[in-house]
Structure 1
Amino acid sequence: MKLLKLTFVFLAVIAIPFLVSCSDDDEVVASKSLDFSVYPGEIDFASNGGNNVLNINSSEAWTIEGGGEWLSWSEGSAEGSKKVNLSASQNQDTISRSSMVTITSGDQSFDVNISQQAMVPEPSDEIVFAVEPDSTDMSEMSAVEFASQIDIGWNLGNSLEAIGGETEWGNPMVSKRLIDSVKAAGFEAVRIPVAWSKFSDEANYVIQDSWMDRVEEVVNYVLDNDMYVIMNIHWDGGWMQPTYADQDEVNERLDILWTQIGNHFMDYGPKLLFAGTNEVMVENNYNAPTEEFYTVQNSFNQTFVDAVRSTGGKNAYRYLVVQGFNTNIDHTINFAEIPDDVVEERLMMEVHYYDPYNFALNADSNITQWGSNATDPNKVETWANESHVDQQFQRMKTNFIDQGVAVILGEYGAIARTKISGHQAYREDYFEYITQAAQTNGLVPIYWDNGDMGQNGFAMFNRNTGETLYPDLMDALVETNQ
């Protein structure tokens, strides 16, 4: 049926279809006939429910049908013009809902869209907030709904997490021009890895004001472009070792750091997400984690969530990203525990994808082809082809997204083999397929870019100029979601 928006309808005898435009401040008036009209054509209820009036103007009998269990009306049928009271019960879900009611008179009918905002869950009383929780302008969406707004993101790698300073790993200072270029290319989010151990008081882990301000400056480059930010604590020298011997000290440090970060960014809106850690593992141990390792790593996730929430303000409702062990999909599914949280459906799980290692990361490997277009069986590893990608991402969907926990594919990509003829075509296939598979399964793909424009690098932009380095590769990433 045709959806009609209505404002003022003047009753008359003439019964012909018409459409009248009002001033810019008024809605459109629409009617099939001048002796039957309904106003308004759309009603939006607050999450706590309430009442709204539906004006039905008719010279004949009419009926109301449709809606849902959460909607009711004062009378479902009558004759002539009436003001019908529509009532909505409280929405106790963190997902908005909608329905449609149809008003019929004779052979004519109108559809009225009815929507209701999601509930903003109140934080639990189990935590003491430093500042009263403030949901103003924070999203009411569940984490899964919120994440679905992001088609693809980009990593500002090897810059703010560089040990020794922002330019120590070969990249220039991050500029607004660079972030503008990232936006123009079609990316919708920027993951910002950060090393926070620039201390004015090292013994007490007090972050330098100048460093906090610099990180905020870069965050604002992104937010000013109406993009999303995922800001983490990255490797930072490797102090986050998941062992019983280090557990108490690491958790204390995490708590102190995230309390400071949370306080500084407390007033930022929902497009700023915090991610607690990055690829937590025992240094150089790539085996499956022992019970000790994954138990301690899970405790880091809990400490991060508790620290951010306890600051209060908008942080009581902020979307937070936790990680599986070493961001490995298998280890995440097997060992990750979702932290307890004082607010519902605000958590996301992060994993990374660099399979097969010999194609994606190993510069010394002769594995230089990937996927169904590979021509030389000696240059491809068949175990990590398209079907493996599908299987892994489907497992993340089943185990997390379908359970209400959004999934961030925080890093993926493959190094540039600029000296190997034909390699770029397989790199394009890899980028396109992983991006598409992630989006199909509801994961948010965020490409890893370390700024290295040479052999074995990941750069997609010249960070000095903002220029796109590989237009075809860029299309393989961002064109996927067009």
Structure 2
Amino acid sequence: MFGIGKFGIAVGALSLASTAAFALPKATEIYPDMGLGYNIGNTMEVPGNPTGWGNSFPDAAYVKAIKDAGFNTVRIPCAWNSHASNGTINAGWLDSVKTVVDLVINNGMYAILNSHWDEGWLEDEVFSGGHIDRNGNQATTDSSKVRALQEGYWKQIADYFKTYDEHLIFASANEPGVNDHRGGSAADGYTDNGQLAFNEDRMTILKRLHEACLRAVRTSGGNNATRIVVVQAPRTEIDKVPLLSAQYPTDPAGEGYTMAEIHFYPYQFSLMTSGDESWGKMFYYWEDQTPGNDAAHTCSGSSLGSKSSIDQLFSGLKSTFYDKGIPVVIGEMGAVKRFSLTGDNLKAHLKARAAWYGYTVAAAKKNGLVPCVWDTGDEGDGNMTIIRRQVNKFGGNVGDITDVETLNAMREAFGQAALPGGSIDSLVNQNPDIPEGSGKGVQVTYQTVTSDSSEVGTLRINLASGKNDLSKYVGIEIRLKGSVTSAGPCTNAAKDCGEYGWTSMDLFMMTGSSWAWFDAPVLQQADQELNASKFQTFQVKWDDFRTTPTGLNSVNAIGLNLYGTQVTGTITFDYIKGIKADGSTEIIDDFDKKPQLEGIASAKIVALSGTDAIKPAAVAATSKMFVNVQYGSVMAQFNAAATAPAKAMLLNSMGQVIAQQNFTASKGMNTVELSSDYRGPAVLMVKQGSQRYMQKVILK
């Protein structure tokens, strides 16, 4: 199905492959041993902090569990730019990466070490000159500078690992161009299903970026002269393979020492969570793994992700690449668990996922592809996790298999014996069917992992097209009950962690094609405001938001974030309503299906008794703090009820205090300014007695 282009790989008297005394095996030689692949996702690629997205640093027990589960290749998504200064990678970070690489190789597996997104320094910059950036703004990219940075980083990485044998593989990038701006017209160049086009000219730029990596690796010497390097198709999308085929990077080592990479997430089956759209429905089920009466939500026939489409796409990759001596890595693949389903429907869905994984990896093996499943560690709604690592949040032990049926389907495809036990029944029991006529709610449990770091629990509702016009409302009403506390045991004896124990809840929304962010405080100390036994109603008007929302006719998502340290507790949410101008309300979501959950939040659907109903409670207006962020400083204006001592603090994403100031606030309006050379997300907190103001800021 793909046009086979010219690979243009140079072969000549000066090729390193012909001059190296001890050349490493070629890609086609090691491919049969690479077997089934696994991603240590959301860890080493986190910009600046591998534990910042909820996972612990990989240890020996975890990596051994990967091997014991039947995997023989581990892809290590990795950040570099956020661990570098003036183009030089921090030596300590290289040592940290080496720790993970060594754990993988010492367990007899292949390690694929890549350059991941890392705030888009390369992947969002596959341009030359003026262009529209991912946020829809005019931008300019000097492609020569991006190329120089790419070559410089890979020179350092290659030098550091030059003595490693063929079990270490390098990968030039991750998903170049995947964040290109969406939402324009075809006349303006948005020809890729509403996304900015990735054409031949941009492929030329990407080819040069890959060649910068290859040049750096080959010239570093040692085993790098013939080490396998993986190069990515634009956005790693299969339909962009002809572009990579036509402009395949030239390797100084000659033929045979590269692999190509694509990713495989058939959207409607794998990732779609916002609800059915006019152009297509979410696929919960697959082929014959379906309740039978829901063909509209079953991936089959010619749908992307069906048996026939997998066979056609993967055989196309084989003829385009593998048959030319270039095996293909499916660097990421997977499908989310949809805990929005319950009971028998959830069971059918989970069985369908397992069947899809088994068929996909078997088809990959047949066609010269190395399938690497994506695993993030989280076990909430929408997760793809197979091996447990977040034991503080989900219990059990590091290395427990959380998706036995899916793993066994893949093991069978590679001729491995099935592991005992199963996971589906326990997951279904956590998400039971609620009898018709019963009210439904979602019960969310929050549990922070650390005692002195700020963490977030997110409950998010993605709004489908046709249901996302909130411009007819003047605000949002939520109804909830529960108890959340932020006073827990402090495990860091070196700090007075009690000083930093706090909890707050914000309502948020994201609107328009740029996903503009708006938020408003709901609770400023949840443990003091909530009633554990009775539902309370809270209203947030648009003018309560810190910045008045725009794009209300096109709201992508709404939700609630619980922020804090030392947080534990449970909140039950009954509904989210829109408030009309006349004071009446109507349901936006009543949690008939579980919302998306992230961070420290886990949940289940629960039945609600009609006796829980109460009259809407009046809510006192929340005090506001007005914040102005400048380069190197942040200024806050707030209203104090009396003249008394006060304290202002800036906390980074780890909950560490990066700036603070003690002062006396006067009754009425006050201004305080803090300076810091920290850059990125932070929390600004101003305290005066029992009065407390908090706001998220992005420090410049």
Is this a same-fold pair by TM over 0.5? yes
Q: Retained in 2: the 8 A contact 1:178–1:466?
A: yes
Q: Is the contact made by 1:133 and 1:315 (CA closer than 8 Å) also made in structure 2?
A: no
Query: Which residue is 2:98 aligned to?
Result: 216
- Cα 1:438–1:285 change in 2 (3 A) is farther
One-letter code of the match for 2:373? Y
Residue 227 (structure 2) pairs with residue 339 (structure 1): no
CA contact (8 A) 2:265 2:271 kept: yes
1:123–1:313: structure 2 CA closer, same or farther, 3 Å change rule?
Answer: farther
* Distance in 2 between residues matched to 1:310 and 1:181, nearest whole Å: 36
Aligned 1:208-247 pairs, distance under 5 A:
208-240=90-122, 241-245=125-129, 246=141, 247=143
Q: Is the 8 A contact 1:135 1:313 kept in 2?
A: no
State the secondary structure of the residue aligned to 2:285. coil
| Residues 363-394 of structure 1 deviation map (CA, whole Å, 9 limit, x = unaligned) | 22342112243322121244121100000000
SS in 2 for 1:149: helix
| C-alpha displacement of 1:290 | 2.3
- 2:355/2:409 contact within 8 Å kept: yes
* C-alpha separation in 2, matches of 1:143 and 1:294: 23
Give a deviation string over 1:256-285, Cα, whole Å, max 9, x none.
000000000000001100000001006334
- Of 313, 318, 321 in structure 1, the residue corresponding to residue 222 of structure 2 is 313
The 2-side partners of 1:122 and 1:295 are apart by 21
Residues 57-456 of structure 1 correspond to what in structure 2 (within 5 A)?
A: 125=14, 135-136=21-22, 139-140=24-25, 142-199=26-83, 202-203=85-86, 205-240=87-122, 241-245=125-129, 246=141, 247-281=143-177, 283-285=179-181, 287=192, 288-336=197-245, 337-343=247-253, 344-355=255-266, 357-365=267-275, 366-374=282-290, 375=292, 376-382=294-300, 383-384=303-304, 385-420=306-341, 421=346, 422-456=348-382
Cα pair 1:409 1:445 within 8 Å, conserved: yes
Question: What is the alpha-carbon distance in structure 2 between the residues aligned to residue 174 and residue 162 of structure 1?
Answer: 13
Report the CA distance shift for 1:291/1:223 in structure 2 as closer, same or farther (over 3 A).
same
| Aligned-pair CA distance for 1:402 | 0.5
Measured after TM superposition, the shift of residue 151 of structure 1 is 1.7
How far did residue 338 of structure 1 move? 2.0
**Counterparts of 1:309 and 1:410, CA distance in 2:** 23
Shift of 1:135: 4.8
Aligned partners of 1:371, 1:156: CA distance in 2, in Å? 29
Tell me how far 1:442 sits from its aligned partner: 1.2
Shift of 1:134: 5.5
State the Cα distance separating 1:195 from its structure 2 match: 0.4
What letter is aligned with 2:297? K
Partner of 1:74: none
**Offset at residue 133 of structure 1 (A):** 7.3
Give the SS at the match of 1:148: helix
**Contact residue 333 and residue 396 of structure 1 kept, 8 A:** no
Deviation at 1:146, TM superposition (A): 1.6
Percentage of identical aligned residues: 32
What is the rounded CA distance, in whole Å, between the counterparts of 1:373 and 1:213 in structure 2?
46
Alpha-carbon displacement from aligned partner over 1:213-236 (angstroms, at most 9, x marks no partner): 000000000001010000000001
Deviations 1:321-340 (A, max 9, x none): 00111111110124442221
User: Where does the alignment leave 5 or more consecutive residues of structure 1 unmatched?
Assistant: 1-120
CA distance in 2 between counterparts of 1:433 and 1:306 reads: 38
Kept after mapping to 1: 8 A contact 2:81/2:121: no
CA distance in 2, matches of 1:124, 1:352: 35
Give the secondary-structure state (helix, strand or coil) at the position aligned to 1:231. strand
Q: State the distance in 1 between where 2:12 and 2:49 align.
A: 38
TM-score when normalising by structure 1: 0.70
Shift of 1:320: 0.8
1:302 positional shift: 1.2
Q: 1:349 to 1:458 in 2, by over 3 A?
A: same
Residues 133 and 165 (structure 1), Cα distance of their counterparts in 2 relative to 1, 3 Å cut: farther
Shift of 1:297: 1.2
Report if the CA contact (8 A) 1:259-1:307 is conserved: yes
The question of whether the paired residues in 2 share the 8 Å contact of 1:372 and 1:386 is answered with no
Alignment TM-score, normalising by the size of structure 2: 0.49
Higher mean C-alpha deviation, range 462-471 or range 328-337: 328-337
SS in 1 for 2:352: helix
**Comparing 330-339 with 440-449, which one deviates more in the overlay?**
330-339
Give the residue type in structure 1 aligned to 2:252.
Answer: V
For this pair of structures, how many residues does the alignment match? Answer: 354
Contact 2:24–2:223 at 8 Å: present in 1 too?
no
**Counterparts of 2:199 and 2:21, CA distance in 1:** 40
Which protein has the bigger strand share?
2
- Alignment partners' CA distance in 2, 1:168 and 1:134: 42
Question: Amino acid of the residue matched to residue 329 of structure 1?
Answer: I
Q: 2:155–2:220: 8 Å Cα contact kept in structure 1? A: yes
Q: 1:474 to 1:210 in 2, by over 3 A?
A: same
1: distance between equivalents of 2:101 and 2:326?
25
Amino acid at match of 1:457: N
Using the TM superposition, give the Cα deviation of residue 341 of structure 1 relative to its aligned residue in structure 2, in angstroms: 1.6
Query: For the residues of structure 2 that align with 1:124 and 1:460, how far apart are their CA atoms?
Result: 48
> How many angstroms does 1:445 deviate by?
0.7
- For the residue of structure 1 that corresponds to 2:81, the secondary structure is coil
Q: Is the 8 A contact 1:133 1:314 kept in 2?
A: no
- Taking the aligned partners of 1:135 and 1:447, their CA distance within structure 2 comes to 36
- What SS class does the counterpart of residue 309 from structure 2 fall into? helix
